[in-house]
């Protein structure tokens, strides 16, 4: 919710660089448990009780905003689709771990 509020209220978050910073600050550095939430990802074989695609819902909300206000965001649907794909099968490992410690190993 705070990431969406920042996207709506802060014009700098609507730029490509600002959106990247927002994702890093609010999702990655804040320790969102991607591995637990996206249990059907390429790196996870079990379904857990904590499975909930919260990050994907966030991406959908951003997409909805981009449809309502098409000239307000500096980035487009392709970036959101790439992020969606990487949440399940990340070539870089950014969205496959639960925290920074797991990503660094």
Half-sphere exposure (Cβ direction) of 32: Cα atoms closer than 13 Å: 21
* Cα 32 from Cα 40, distance rounded (Å): 16
Q: Can you give the residue range of the structural domain that contains 71?
A: 1-102
* pTM: predicted TM-score of the whole model, two decimal places: 0.77
H helices then E strands: how many in the chain?
Answer: 6, 0
The domain tally of the chain equals 1
| Per-residue confidence (pLDDT) for residue 19, from 0 to 100 | 96
52-90 confidence digits (pLDDT tens): 678 889 999 999 999 999 999 999 999 999 998 887 776
């Amino acid at each position: 919710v705070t990431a969406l509020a920042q996207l709506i209220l802060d014009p700098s978050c609507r730029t490509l660089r600002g959106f990247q910073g927002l994702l890093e600050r609010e999702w990655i550095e804040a320790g969102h448990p991607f591995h637990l939430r996206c249990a059907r990802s390429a790196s996870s074989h079990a379904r857990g009780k904590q499975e909930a695609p919260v990050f994907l819902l966030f991406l959908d909300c951003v997409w909805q905003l981009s449809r309502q206000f098409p000239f307000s965001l500096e980035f487009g649907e392709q970036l959101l689709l790439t992020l969606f794909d990487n949440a399940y099968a990340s070539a870089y490992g950014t969205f496959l771990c639960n925290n920074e410690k797991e990503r660094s190993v």
